[in-house]
A and B are shown apart, each in its own frame.
Chain A
Amino acid sequence: MLKIITMEELIEQLKQEIIEALDLEDVKPDDFNADTPLFVEGLGLDSIDALELIVLLEKKYGLKIEDPQERRSILYSVRTMAEYITANRKE
């Protein structure tokens, strides 16, 4: 059974998972908050990172996102990812 966690907890957990998946440990952790844009002007992630995040969502949360438009909006920031997980996560 999945533990019920708050949005803030999910965000923290997700941050840790992203840091691990993308090997971000050395990249100025202060700049990295729930609303920082992950791509281009924010953290400067690239298309490969996007694929890694898709893999993360599928592996850890069982969520598969195919549509490129939808991907773009979900992967905008840690918060948008967390919101998507909360809304779509299966029990």
Chain B
Amino acid sequence: MAAFITSTACISPQNTSNSLGFPNEINEYSSNILKCVEPNYKDYINPLQLRRMSKILKMGLGASMICIKNDNQSNPDAIIVGTGLGCGEDLEKFLNSITDSNEQVLSPTPFIQSTHNMVAAQIAVVLKNHNYNMTYCHRGFSFEEALIDALMLINDGQAKSVLVGGIDEMTENNFKFFNYLDYWKKENISNLHLFEHNNSGSIAGEGACFFSIKAENSNNATCINDVSLFYKPQSNCEIEEKITSFLKKNNIEKEKLDLIILGMNGDNNFDSIYKHLIKEYFYSGSLLTNYKHLCGEYVTSSSFALWLADCILKDQYIPDVIKIDKFENKIVKNILIYNHYRNINHSLMLISLK
């Protein structure tokens, strides 16, 4: 199972939406919730179609249209979206209106738009696309499952091109709720110093990253070799075994991994796993990077990591801001992304230049 990324789009807390490749300037935030820098959606979508849409729908539709535009492509053979929390803003709006009006006279729009598959559905309506349309909503697996589905469609010959996206928004209320559960740091920090605070909690984020995945290579496109996920591992040893068998299945030795993108989020309850792997498992010559200080922690943040990997491979440029320790840049051919969400949902992605 392998396929090629021929185009990407990324709406994130960084200035990524209008640039092809990694942005020159990095945004610094002083609160623990990172919000997306949104493009002017009217540049990409007919205002009539933007009507009534909540932020996540605009982000999803916006990112998918940018991705398709960058690809000079009209209509994919399938549209697959991963979104862990779905359309939270509308869900909250409808829940509030039920309570406030005591279940009387309710506006239906937020109910419709709270449906989890609305992003994928709206993309299909805009593109008049009658093909396969799927939405995965499983926490830290959501995006990976969408990607695996895309690879299966290509592997089966059912699709030659698939539009895949990972998207989640961090509403103020979800931020608050997860704060009750100590997901976030208690003190406000700068995102650029996330990894200097060795204590509990992370910073919250959001994003919409879309990819055109194709069966055929064109213009030296990045190759997604494989994606794998594992659930609630019992020990570091089991995690090592999973990574080893994933690499073995793909006929690549640890030593051949030029660069590794890790999902560190600054929470010492969870980063210990990555630190263990760095110390005990990964090859010392692999360049080590992380990304969640740029986009924040959210369930589909691995889609940002995949976007980052694609940037690195295409431009052969590793921005200093993602390096765990300083290192000299070198040619990067193989990248492993390893991320886990709260030590429950773990995932591996292998990306390379063919």
Contact = CB atoms under 8 A, between A and B. Distances in A.
Asked whether the complex places CB atoms of A and B closer than 8 A, the reply is: yes
Interface of A: 21-24, 26-27, 44, 48, 51-52, 55, 58-59
B87 to A, nearest CB: 15
B48 A44 contact: yes
Contact of A48 (B50, B105, B112): B112
Contacts of B52: 22-23, 48
B279 interface: no
10 contacts: A23-B51, A24-B51, A26-B42, A26-B47, A26-B48, A48-B52, A55-B105, A55-B106, A55-B107, A55-B108
Contact of B107 (A24, A26, A27, A52): A52
A55 B106 CA distance: 7
Given A22-B52, A48-B112, A27 B105 contact: no
B108 A48 contact: yes
B48 A48 contact: no
A48 B109 contact: yes
B157 to A, nearest CB: 37
Interface in B38-85: 42, 47-48, 50-52
Interface of B: 42, 47-48, 50-52, 105-109, 112
A52 B109 contact: yes
For the complex of A and B, the 10 pairs showing the least CB-CB separation, nearest first, are A26-B47, A23-B52, A23-B51, A55-B107, A51-B108, A58-B105, A59-B105, A52-B107, A55-B105, A27-B48
Contact of A27 (B51, B106, B108, B112): B51
Nearest to A21: B107
Nearest to B48: A27
A71 B122 CA distance: 28
Given A55-B106, A55-B107, A59-B105, A26 B112 contact: no
A48 B50 CA distance: 15
B104 to A, nearest CB: 9
A24 B42 CA distance: 14
A67 B282 CA distance: 70
Contacts of B108: 48, 51-52, 55
Contacts of B112: 48
